Amino acid sequence: MWPVLFFARFAFAKTTVKGLANRIISDLLNPLIAVLIGVAVVVFLWGIVEFIAKAGSEEARTTGKKHIIWGLIGLAIMISVFGIINILSNFICSGPC
């Protein structure tokens, strides 16, 4: 049901490129980026928990380090994507959208 409502919103959007771009960014990309940032935070925190909880095992510490590193890389990428999308959005929608 929700996909029908999601795409129905595009039918009532402005018919300009600016209006369509604004709708895609606000309704699709921003929530997707928020979910992916959340996943990266969970991976990072899981790595910290794994690193601390299993400090006696070298193999578990190595796995925890990998999760911490990949969580930070994911956060950096997603925050960069969020910034790039906002810059492009401001460039496309320089006036009122």
**Whole domain around residue 66: which residue ranges?**
15-92
Residue 27: predicted pLDDT? 83
Residue 70, in any domain of the structure: yes
pLDDT greater than 90 at residue 44? yes
Confidence of residue 9 (pLDDT cuts 50, 70, 90): low
Residue 68, in any domain of the structure: yes
Residue 10, in any domain of the structure: no
Determine what percent of the chain is predicted with pLDDT higher than 90: 47
Looking at the structure of the chain, the number of domains it has is 1
Residue 1, in any domain of the structure: no
Arithmetic mean of pLDDT, 25-54: 91
pTM to 2 decimals?
A: 0.71
Give the Å distances, CA to CA, from 86 to 7, 50, 62, 73: 22, 35, 36, 20
